[in-house]
Amino acid sequence: MIEVMRTLLLVGLATLISTMTLADVYKYVDADGHAYFTDTPLQGNRYRLEWHRESQTLASKSQQTLFSRTLKQALAIVPSNATETSTRTVTPDISVQRRRAIYHGLVVLNARRYQLSPGLIHAVIRAESAYNPSAVSAAGAQGLMQLMPGTAARYGVSDSFNPVENVRAGAAYLRDLLDLFDQDLKLALAGYNAGEGAVIRYGRTIPPYSETQGYVSKVLEYYRAEQPVSIAMTPR
């Protein structure tokens, strides 16, 4: 638990350093020791102000580079030039649940920001990269939520291997897809995998691609498994 908490704090610091828009940051630690960060506290006095925007200063470029390098070294599971197959390989001494815990605070923050279920973001990350921030697919998708270069550019991401930027953009993309397809989760997931254009071309149905159909089923399976975990780990 101590190791997980240290890593969560590391991700929290990464959020502060990497975020370009200064904002107040609030922190909440539940009875199990899980830390949650948000810029919009929704839980009354359960959240405490951790950093005030007026007292924040952006770290120098060299400090950000050093921190980014340290973060990647601490969280990397396989080399950044790994193939799509190898990025799905689970390192024996790092379980999925431990990797999940590392990013839970970041997931909750973006779930609140984009009005998504934390379990849904977790399910997509698990299906896309198994929580490997250095994952690269054969098609060129990168990072935790496997952003294609075009999608990354569309959402203002400068470094897809930065978990803070990657999860923010991936969550924003999911939110936009859900809105585009009238909150139809299956179509939103199909769009995330094959692109919204493909879903529209096939009459707003899941495209007849075996990869996309399998992807939608996999994410929904992970999402169903995530829901009890998210309920337990997300403060009321």
For residue 195, the SS3 value is coil
DSSP state of 20: S
CA–CA separation, 209 and 225 (whole Å):
25
- Determine which one of 128, 165, 196, 226 is catalytic: 128
Which helix (H) or strand (E) segment is 37 a member of?
strand 35-38
Chain centroid to CA 117: 12
- Whether 143 and 82 have beta carbons less than 8 Å apart is answered as no
DSSP state of 94: S
Active site residue 128: yes
Q: Which tokens belong to 45?
A: 């006095």
Q: Residues with catalytic annotation?
A: 128
